[in-house]
Amino acid sequence: MKESCGLIGIYNNKEAARLAYFGLYALQHRGQEGAGIATWDGKKIREHRGMGLVAEVFNERHLSIELKGDIAIGHVRYSTTGASLLRNVQPFITYFKGLHLAVGHNGNLVNTVELRRELESKGALFQTTTDSEIFVHLAAHNLTGHTIEEALSIACSKVKGAYSLLALVNDKLIAIRDPYGFRPLVIGRLGTSYVISSETCALDLLEAEYIREVEPGEMIVIDKGNLRSYFLENRQEKRRCCIFELIYFARPDSTVFGKNIYITRKAMGMALAEEAPVDADFCMPFPDSGVYAAVGYVQRSGIPFETAMIRNHYVGRTFIQPSQDMRDFGVRMKLNPVKDMIKDKRIVIIEDSIVRGTTIRSRIKKLRELGARELHLRVSCPPIKFPCFYGIDFSSKGELIAANHTVKDIERFIGLDSLYYLSLDGLIKACGGEDNFCLACFNGDYPVVPSKEYGKLFFDIFVG
Amino acid sequence: MKESCGLIGIYNNKEAARLAYFGLYALQHRGQEGAGIATWDGKKIREHRGMGLVAEVFNERHLSIELKGDIAIGHVRYSTTGASLLRNVQPFITYFKGLHLAVGHNGNLVNTVELRRELESKGALFQTTTDSEIFVHLAAHNLTGHTIEEALSIACSKVKGAYSLLALVNDKLIAIRDPYGFRPLVIGRLGTSYVISSETCALDLLEAEYIREVEPGEMIVIDKGNLRSYFLENRQEKRRCCIFELIYFARPDSTVFGKNIYITRKAMGMALAEEAPVDADFCMPFPDSGVYAAVGYVQRSGIPFETAMIRNHYVGRTFIQPSQDMRDFGVRMKLNPVKDMIKDKRIVIIEDSIVRGTTIRSRIKKLRELGARELHLRVSCPPIKFPCFYGIDFSSKGELIAANHTVKDIERFIGLDSLYYLSLDGLIKACGGEDNFCLACFNGDYPVVPSKEYGKLFFDIFVG
Amino acid sequence: MKESCGLIGIYNNKEAARLAYFGLYALQHRGQEGAGIATWDGKKIREHRGMGLVAEVFNERHLSIELKGDIAIGHVRYSTTGASLLRNVQPFITYFKGLHLAVGHNGNLVNTVELRRELESKGALFQTTTDSEIFVHLAAHNLTGHTIEEALSIACSKVKGAYSLLALVNDKLIAIRDPYGFRPLVIGRLGTSYVISSETCALDLLEAEYIREVEPGEMIVIDKGNLRSYFLENRQEKRRCCIFELIYFARPDSTVFGKNIYITRKAMGMALAEEAPVDADFCMPFPDSGVYAAVGYVQRSGIPFETAMIRNHYVGRTFIQPSQDMRDFGVRMKLNPVKDMIKDKRIVIIEDSIVRGTTIRSRIKKLRELGARELHLRVSCPPIKFPCFYGIDFSSKGELIAANHTVKDIERFIGLDSLYYLSLDGLIKACGGEDNFCLACFNGDYPVVPSKEYGKLFFDIFVG
Amino acid sequence: MKESCGLIGIYNNKEAARLAYFGLYALQHRGQEGAGIATWDGKKIREHRGMGLVAEVFNERHLSIELKGDIAIGHVRYSTTGASLLRNVQPFITYFKGLHLAVGHNGNLVNTVELRRELESKGALFQTTTDSEIFVHLAAHNLTGHTIEEALSIACSKVKGAYSLLALVNDKLIAIRDPYGFRPLVIGRLGTSYVISSETCALDLLEAEYIREVEPGEMIVIDKGNLRSYFLENRQEKRRCCIFELIYFARPDSTVFGKNIYITRKAMGMALAEEAPVDADFCMPFPDSGVYAAVGYVQRSGIPFETAMIRNHYVGRTFIQPSQDMRDFGVRMKLNPVKDMIKDKRIVIIEDSIVRGTTIRSRIKKLRELGARELHLRVSCPPIKFPCFYGIDFSSKGELIAANHTVKDIERFIGLDSLYYLSLDGLIKACGGEDNFCLACFNGDYPVVPSKEYGKLFFDIFVG
């Protein structure tokens, strides 16, 4: 399960690139494949992009010498399973009729194929497979007779899907959130500087003060020291914020869609304890996924909290293959159970979600081998039955175990004594009870219907 | 606070180097400065060593091509503040009168200066500042008329201090633990292979079965498929195991000195709850140091458990300097509090130890700024008042805050509403109640007295 | 003085990428800034590009795994003094209406500004500052109702200037040379494979047989195993081949424009000996520039040949600064005179050209210090008085010493006893006597007049 | 054919490490496997060593920050075919009884096995297989009651073979040349600094003034600003300088053993022209080996000089394998003949030496394929019939083609119309006519007889 991307924008700061760097650092959980920063140096756009973690992509020289300027935008990108491409690492940069543009994007459009075909028929050439490039082409094709703000607004009226977007256009910083507000985007202030970020955890690291969200369907333009707000014509009455940001993606110390993640996840755990109590010796999370729901579960149920699966903190990326005898090796690399705590115990385990169910199955098997007496799994969201078209990579529906199997089947497949998923109602209540979430992955109710040709994507066009 | 080192030995396995690699991976918390592996290929010793984390030092080619052989030893080394040296990364390798030797060592000797002087007067040349090299020289000077086992035994009779040692001598794997057993060393079996390791967590990762500890004062020799046991002449009646391995160093999923670390730390937290109860809204650890004691504290006290300080899991090593305005930046990089959980709350915080007190002071200050009402710190060991000469780098006594200040002073310095250290009795009871620990850092009672010239070390001889 | 670029194309070879690699290796003298290879794998284009020398950019994995396919084009790019950009390293890749395109280009267009403006007014977005991208946009805008061959032909009718171009379009390999034939491009055969290259030295390395030049104004299309030839409408009656390829750029073992370089340069030296004989103790070249002309000079004049300036063969790129006392250090790093050969000698030195005159001045000064009695410089081309707009980077006219100074002035500036430049007639005769060269840098007679806006280039748009 | 090593020493210069770096840069032809520099910072020795070329091993930080001090020694090391070891890269560093030592060495000892055995029986441990370490051990074992100068002098009385040696001992710079003076070593002055170097080309680069050679059997000690000279007891009456330094190894712009290399090699070529004239169209060298002898040959014979084999100046180290169809690929990579110059020509080729004859055979075959009518090879030294024990790696005698074959056989094997080797008399005359060269590789007359056990070396002890 992978989040699309993370965004950071800095306006009016002598160390804009450096702040963008640390902002991306705080947003690293939103994408580990690649990172890029673009700055406006007063005359032109400077950029550095690379594959890998933020700390690997940039060095001191990039930040202090090359990325000059008072305005910066930065982007972290998620890791695909297939071929990864430096070419696709954002921000996307271009120069067009006197405008220098850098654009970064979080989310996923659902009418990409049609838009590309139409743009190509007008002579547009594409160099990447990113949605950012589509925005830029659409804006460019509408610049004649329009300001860049208008052109971007027209572009937004043509694209369908999820997008939080940051653009650097000469000395302007522009932030846009799609009409439904699928993906988060927040505004902060740091002295006389502005900071735009996917999550508030980046504001915290930079010691910026949280002001408010960029609203769904809102375009923020910051220039000449001022922040102006516009609304897109196709702004929707109801938000459709991705509830998975609350369940899984956003950092627990962030506030997203106006909700504190930590407290929200605790509430999900409490709801689970109410809906599906169980008599057990203790309750533990699978680190790091279920920790906060587990904290809520134990507070409501009174069962003792333990953290008897130990995470190896130094596990970085090793490229060494295990030997052939090492079965289930990947599972052991990340988490090791405390044997003496497992034997003969009745255990409630809290997880935030199940996608394919294979990793959790290996872990349960390991706990059985160590002598666990009873193993009860509680999941802090309903079964994921439908694919996401707005930026969460559950992969194809075929791989979603709950799409084709009953809860009983899954319980048996994983090898549990009992399995319970939080009800949709319980989840919504834990999230505040309002009707403003996209719940499509649970109920198939898609706020924006993907075009017929969705999925005929160009992801394999270039391999480098 | 830094642990000396971690050791792994593999005997009779076609993939000895690969197993050693993953063993070191599991022991990475014991040393992040450098790593090395040496193998016996049937004719000579092969080696690869480097600065950095295990995953950075070795690549597939090292393991599958260069480090041939069925026997391997590996070593991870701690990070010093000053100049680091590839030269000092172990194993130490030499060739002497037909014997190929590789030696790795965990611990610290206290008569190094005298031994080096004596050896130099006999013409010995030193290339490193490691204790391993001293062992090798001592053994070499006693080889005439003796077997290598005897020579090593004589060497052990001359050195004073703490050492767990692994040696590869042609086709023999030799493990030695000092007469007091300061540092841990355990034996495991994997099919027809033997595994020797500092902690059992490495056995778990390799799926090796735990057999027993190497005993204090014991020398294990494995060759021709057999494991033989000898005892050093100066074996002591009482063990003096480093209690700090239990409090802080060893991984929570390890069993060390026959104690499960997780359960032991929980017991420390329970003892704290008994000795120093406090009326509070919740109890939380400072990740990752106090987690397990906190679990014990809440179980005994009934106060709710929270984990309201969030660790950034992607924090790797960044070499980028923060901007000048970023105060207390390092603190925020690692941990970020969940603001909404802190305001107006009475909080009990659990820590495993306080050395200088400066980091914890910054964290407490941050919590105050966020509006915490009361902050009570509970530490799961007594005040550290004396330096360690056996391998734990508390640095000099001057920097130990408890050496020169009362608990009340420290409470004020850190800015707490209350501070309580676990009593020595409480600690010992939590560790099983036996009289077999080195407690010198708490009570100044040193099992082995350092030589007069201790400290006149050669740590800065070479700078590279 | 820098050459633009080098090109290699391989058609119908299982190891197309590998052959392209070695072809670029042979063409490395034409560009050291960056290199790239693109292949057609049957479904899409694969690419790898990077900054640096060919041997630094590619590794075995790129060639054997990533760059699959039977067709490949490769490109080496020259080093600019200012900011270098991975973005600008060719081939330029795009996907457009079912066509996968990769384009590499050698030469320089002179109506770039107008073309970009026109294309942008139609909505084209540019990502690089390369002429290759302009070609691709022009072709794309003319694809509707035309084949790619026709579209490229239309593109050629719009661009003005110098271009040798290689394009990979799905399974076609297309080679085009501009109507004047400024830059070289040759065709070779290797069994059932075709090889297209800037110079024949790449054919030699690959053991390909030289067939013929791509003619000025010719488009070669290779697909389905066949090679077809078309001519551009604006093909010129007279060629205007860059005579500087013969004087300086091309490798001495190449045949370019039908001339063997080695023999041609020898003929220039012979002409110099006839036009400007001098009584001297010996004649020597400045390695490596004047070697072949010097060989001709000594054969015609009878003066002994010496090579008394020694080149350090291991001089690679060092990034270490000399100490402050090391004057003229760069000069000594590359060439060291054999002192005992210089003292009291009357020496004729042969050079192939003088641009700014500063390097040669330092060398002459060094020879004076070593006691040379007389120093006579003979240059194997006329004074360079005019800038080149077709791909040779003499930089701006202001820096061409001969543009503003007489030969007598230059002689005095450099500190010579005599200076003589080969006459234009002598040069033309040495090159075969025909009227088919561009001589603009000597006589200002430009075959294609640059547009008014030439020079308002976008070279600094992106800095990364 | 490989030279052992190159040495540089700098005394009393604020930028000692930087000068040592550039000195090694000038001596790079003497060793490409690894490089190291050690400095004395006033308190201790600092060092940096690495595998690869000088420009790869050091960066600006090493030179400006880490390698502080006014005294430096540096070393470049040759490339072995088998396993290369960072461990063996010099200088060798140790600390012993208050003395900090760094030693670098050029040459080869012939009683290594005996010396190691004797030292080990006294308890010495060896970490490398370098002769430098043997010197250090010998000196250490004789330090009691002696100064370091005396101890080194005693060491020199025990070792047999070839050595030019530089030692840094606290604030002293010591240079020693063996009693026969096999390997070169020269002294230069740069203002108030001293420079010691293997060849004068390093003095030239640093703009140091050449003073004189270190004499055979001389020990130079520089401290407190003064240079003192001592002579070893076993100094020999006659020098035995390695004549191969003149024929092949030293750089042509160096003065070695008091001879200018360029002029000496020209004289060899002249002697060849006298001894073995031939009627031919032209004479050419195989770059870069025979260039200077070829210059002499053409001056004496009157045959035209050509340089019709072109060297690819950008050939660096490529690790890409050629495809299977690329026969004789390595030959073509380095040198490409100018085809039009070869066809139907009678050619005299000048080479400096033939070891195995296989490379030259491939080149001759290529020239035949291009249509050469006659190919006459003239070699500027006699047949190499005996191995060298003093530092030149002809490998084993079995591979020396002239050891087991007549000149006629070799002529046939290579495929020549005629082959002639310069006579020993002719060679000696060209080198000045004096009886002070080691000629063992030609006549088997070894000045120092290797010990019986020579060759039982430990080169494979460690593989890393």
Name the pLDDT band for D215 (thresholds 50, 70, 90). very high
- Looking at residue B32, what is its pLDDT? 85
Q: What's C258-282 look like in SS3? A: CEEHHHHHHHHHHHHHHHCCCCCCE
- Looking at residue A167, what is its pLDDT? 97
Please check whether residue C336 touches D, CB under 8 A. yes
Residue A289 predicted with pLDDT over 90: no
A383-435 pLDDT, tens digit per residue, is 999 999 998 877 655 689 999 999 999 999 999 999 999 999 999 999 999 99
Do chain C and chain B touch with ≥3 beta carbon pairs under 8 Å?
no
Which residue type is seen at C71?
A: I
Please check whether residue D456 touches B, CB under 8 A. no
Which segments of D80-130 does DSSP mark as H helices, in order?
A: 112-121
Please check whether residue D308 touches C, CB under 8 A. yes
Question: What token pair was written down for D17?
Answer: 């490490």
Number of C to D CB contacts under 8 A, please give it. 163
- For chain A, the structural domain boundaries read 5-240, 256-313+328-443
Picking from D65, D197, D262 by the largest number of C CB atoms within 10 A of its own CB, the best residue to mutate is D262
Residue D461 predicted with pLDDT over 50: no
A5 as an active site residue: the answer is: yes
Which residue type is seen at B212?
A: R
Residue A96 predicted with pLDDT over 70: yes
Q: What's the rounded mean pLDDT across residues D400-425?
A: 96
8 Å CB contact of C338 and D252: yes
Q: In chain D, what residues touch B94 (CB-CB under 8 Å)?
A: 125-127
- Looking at residue B82, what is its pLDDT? 35
Residue D256 predicted with pLDDT over 90: yes
Residue B298 predicted with pLDDT over 70: yes
The proportion of chain A whose per-residue pLDDT surpasses 90, expressed as a percent, equals: 69
Domain D260-443 has CATH 3.50.50.60: no
Q: What's chain B look like in SS3? A: CCCCEEEEEEECCCCHHHHHHHHHHHCHHHCCCEEEEEEECCCCEEEEEEECCHHHHCCHHHHHHHCCCCEEEEEEECCCCCCCCHHHCCCEEEEECCEEEEEEEECCECCHHHHHHHHHHCCCCECCCCHHHHHHHHHHHCCCCCCHHHHHHHHHHHCCECCEEEEEECCEEEEEECCCCCCCCEEEEECCEEEEECCHHHHHHHCCEEEEECCCCEEEEEECCEEEEEECCCCCCCCCEEHHHHHHHCCCCCEECCEEHHHHHHHHHHHHHHHCCCCCCEEEECCCCCHHHHHHHHHHHCCCECCCEEECCCCCCCCCCCCCCCCCHHHHHHEEECHHHHCCCEEEEEECCCCCCHHHHHHHHHHHHCCCCEEEEEECCCCCCCCCCCCCCCCCHHHCHHHHCCHHHHHHHHCCCEEEECCHHHHHHHCCCCCCEECHHHHCCCCCCCCCCCCCCCCCCEEC
Cα D357 from Cα D405, distance rounded (Å)? 11
- As a dihedral over the C-alpha atoms of residue D402, residue D407, residue D412, residue D417, rounded to 10 degrees, the angle is 140
Top CATH class, B256-322+329-443: alpha beta
Name the pLDDT band for A83 (thresholds 50, 70, 90). very low
**Which of B160-169, C164-173, C416-425, D320-329 has the weakest average pLDDT?**
D320-329
- Looking at residue A70, what is its pLDDT? 97
Please check whether residue B340 touches D, CB under 8 A. no
Cα C287 from Cα D310, distance rounded (Å)? 13
Return the CATH fold of C256-314+330-443. Rossmann fold (3.40.50)
8 Å CB contact of D94 and B124: no
Name all contacts of C356-361 with Cβ < 8 Å and 24+ positions apart. Answer: C356/C399, C356/C400, C356/C401, C357/C401, C357/C410, C357/C413, C357/C414, C359/C331, C360/C286, C360/C414, C361/C413, C361/C414, C361/C415
- Looking at 3.40.50.150, 3.40.50.12280, 3.60.20.10, 3.40.50.620, the CATH number of the domain C5-240 comes to 3.60.20.10
Q: In chain D, what residues touch C314 (CB-CB under 8 Å)?
A: 25, 28-29, 32, 53-54
Please check whether residue B137 touches D, CB under 8 A. yes
Q: Place domain D5-237 in its CATH homologous superfamily.
A: Aminohydrolase, N-terminal nucleophile (Ntn) domain (3.60.20.10)
Q: What is the CATH code of the structural domain delimited by A256-313+328-443? A: 3.40.50.2020
- Looking at residue C80, what is its pLDDT? 45
Residue B430, strand partner residues = none
Question: What token pair was written down for D342?
Answer: 């070869």
Please check whether residue D49 touches B, CB under 8 A. yes
Q: In chain A, what residues touch C168 (CB-CB under 8 Å)?
A: none
Interface of A with B in 259-288 (CB under 8 A): 260, 262-263, 288
Number of B to D CB contacts under 8 A, please give it. 97
Name the pLDDT band for B163 (thresholds 50, 70, 90). very high
- As a dihedral over the C-alpha atoms of residue C92, residue C97, residue C100, residue C103, rounded to 10 degrees, the angle is -30
**Which chains sit next to D, with 3 or more Cβ pairs under 8 A?**
B, C
Cα C146 from Cα C154, distance rounded (Å)? 10
Question: What token pair was written down for B78?
Answer: 């701690």
Do chain C and chain D touch with ≥3 beta carbon pairs under 8 Å?
yes
- Looking at residue C391, what is its pLDDT? 86
Partner residue opposite A308 with nearest CB, options B262, B318, B326: B262
Q: What's the rounded mean pLDDT across residues B99-104?
A: 93
8 Å CB contact of C125 and A121: no
A178-220 pLDDT, tens digit per residue, is 999 999 999 999 999 999 999 999 999 999 999 999 999 999 9
Verify cis geometry, omega within 30 degrees of 0, for the bond prior to D288.
yes
Cα D161 from Cα D391, distance rounded (Å)? 9
Please check whether residue D118 touches B, CB under 8 A. no
- Looking at residue B204, what is its pLDDT? 94
Q: In chain A, what residues touch B253 (CB-CB under 8 Å)?
A: 310, 336-339
8 Å CB contact of C125 and A140: yes
Cα D200 from Cα C120, distance rounded (Å)? 62
B178-188 pLDDT, tens digit per residue, is 999 999 999 99
Q: In chain A, what residues touch C46 (CB-CB under 8 Å)?
A: 462-464
Q: How many CB atoms lie within 10 A of CB A41?
A: 16
**Which chains sit next to B, with 3 or more Cβ pairs under 8 A?**
A, D
- Looking at residue C227, what is its pLDDT? 96
Q: What's A41-93 look like in SS3? A: CCCCEEEEEEECCHHHHCCHHHHHHHCCCCEEEEEEECCCCCCCCHHHCCCEE
8 Å CB contact of D299 and C305: yes
Q: Which residues of C are catalytic?
A: 5
Cα C429 from Cα C267, distance rounded (Å)? 9
Q: In chain C, what residues touch D291 (CB-CB under 8 Å)?
A: 307
Average pLDDT for runs of 10 along chain C of length 464: 79 96 94 92 90 86 90 84 60 87 93 90 82 90 91 96 96 97 97 97 95 97 95 92 95 96 98 97 90 97 95 67 71 86 97 91 94 98 94 73 95 98 98 95 94 61 42
Name the pLDDT band for A264 (thresholds 50, 70, 90). very high
User: Contact at 8 Å (CB) between C301 and C283?
Assistant: yes
- Looking at residue A401, what is its pLDDT? 93
| Verdict on whether the full-model pTM lies above 0.90 | no
- Looking at residue A368, what is its pLDDT? 97
Q: How is residue C245 annotated by DSSP?
A: I
- Looking at residue A456, what is its pLDDT? 58
Partner residue opposite C126 with nearest CB, options A47, A94, A464: A94
Considering only CA atoms, which of D129, D30, D28, D23 is closest in space to residue D74? D23
Do chain B and chain A touch with ≥3 beta carbon pairs under 8 Å?
yes
Chain B residue at shortest CA distance from D140: B123
Helix (H) or strand (E) holding D87: none
Chain C residue at shortest CA distance from A114: C97
- Which has more pLDDT, A78 or B100? B100
Q: In chain A, what residues touch B312 (CB-CB under 8 Å)?
A: 25-26, 28, 251
8 Å CB contact of B332 and A263: no
B407-446 pLDDT, tens digit per residue, is 999 999 999 999 999 999 999 999 999 999 999 999 999 9
Q: How many CB atoms lie within 10 A of CB B373?
A: 14
How, if at all, do strands D335-337 and A282-285 pair? unpaired
Q: In chain C, what residues touch D345 (CB-CB under 8 Å)?
A: none
Which residues are CB-contacts of D61 (< 8 A; sequence separation ≥ 6)? none
Query: For chain C, what's the residue count?
Result: 464
D169-202 pLDDT, tens digit per residue, is 999 999 999 999 999 999 999 999 999 999 999 9
Please check whether residue C369 touches D, CB under 8 A. no
Considering only CA atoms, which of A376, A374, A371 is closest in space to residue A342? A371
Residue B141 predicted with pLDDT over 80: yes
- Looking at residue B212, what is its pLDDT? 97
